[in-house]
Every structure is written in C-alpha cells, then in structure tokens.
Amino acid sequence: MIAQTQFEERCAVRLISTAYIEEPAMAPLFDTWEEEAVLNELEGLTSARRGSLALPDGVTAEELLHESYGYGWTLVNAAFCHARPPGNRFNDEHRGAWYAAFGEGAADTAEAEVSYHIAVALKDAGAVEELVAYRQILSSFACPMHDLRREPDHPALAPEPASGYPVGQALARQVRAQGGNGILYPSVRRTGGECVAVLRPSVIQNVRQGDMVLMEWDGQAISRRVLAAA
C-alpha cells in the first residue's frame, strides 16, 4: 500500500460541463419553498441523479451528502453515483470519484486532463468542429490521502487508459477497503501538474464556482480560454 500524507488544500479545481450546473429544471415551476419541496419529491421518483433510484454498487445513501451541506452537494453526489464504462483512472464503472487538480497551475492541469478526454471522444466521433463550455468547481480539503506523487513510474499512471486504468482501479478499491480517502498523483496529461482522486464524498469541503472555460475543437486539437470570471 502506498504511503499517506496529510492533504491541506484550499482551492482544488474540477471542471464540470455547464449543462450540469445550470438552473434546476424545476426552478420555473414554483413560487415558495414548500412548493419546491413537493416538486423535488416528485422528481425524485424518477430521477437517478437525485439518488432516489437504486444506488450503484458500493455507494450507500449514508455516505452521500445531504442538502444541508450547502452548495455543491448534488454535484458531489453525482460524481460518485454516475460513472461511465469502463470507468476512469481510479474508479470503475460501478462507482465514481471526484477528480480535481491542485497546486501551482491547477487550472491548467484540470484543463489539460479534461481536454485530453474531450479530444479523444470528438476524434472518435469524427467531429470537425465543436465548442463546449465548462465551469470550474473549486473545493477544499484537510485530510490524509494516499500519495503516488513520489512514484511517477507506478503502473497506475500509464498514459494509455487500457494499461493504466485497470491497475489504478484495483489500487483505489484497495485504498477504500482500508478506509482511505483518496489518492494524490502526478498529472498524466500535464508535466508538473498534481491531481487528486477523492474516493469519499464526506472529505470534500467548501464547494463553490470558479471561472468558465471554453474548449474549442477544430478537428485536430483543443484550444482553451477563460470566458468569464466567477
């Protein structure tokens, strides 16, 4: 098992598509908090994102955040409840994780990580041009994390997903089984960048919005620019 280190971070950067953080769908339909509560309950009967349906394997209702947490609780829960096959570097398709960049150049690191995956998807789809908007979601941490930053040659950090992901997913399962909170690791897509894969919702603190970022695909590469400050 890799060693742990105390992780103290005030401004980790995660990028989320603006499609997931716009005004809630029910917002135009109510005038009072009482009406909102009724509509949210009705929506929850069929909305997997609100967590009323069966939870994914390995995710329990008790570990998810409650609305009393404040802004960001639905974003955090969604990260753990909605994983795509075949998963990512430190989570499989049954349980998601909260990925973020931190340290010097955190915004650049987050953009490099996300744009890599966007470029692969758009190239595979044969897209000639595309424009996508993301919002920085900032968060804070004060907890121990398992630390891979001193092991840059660890097989979990292999650039190709087919090689690195199975190893990373197995490592994450081991960390969780031993009560670990997450994994710190060097960015695979930006030299010198640092990332965290958070495995437990409860350690994510002070979620808030940052800048908006536009990513433009021209058929060959992604260009990135900050659109507006928060």
Angle at 77 between CA 59 and CA 67, to 5 degrees: 120
For residue 207, the model assigns a pLDDT of: 97
Residues 6+ apart with CB under 8 A from 195: 99, 100, 101, 102, 109, 113, 184, 185, 186, 187
pLDDT confidence of residue 227: 65
Predicted pLDDT of residue 53: 44
Examine the pLDDT at 30 and tell me if it is beyond 80. Answer: no
Residue 27 tokens, joined:
């917002």
User: 127-165, pLDDT tens digit by residue?
Assistant: 888 888 999 999 999 999 999 999 999 999 999 999 999
pLDDT tens per residue, range 74-106: 999 999 999 989 999 999 999 999 999 999 999
**pLDDT higher than 90, residue 20:** no
pTM of the model: 0.85
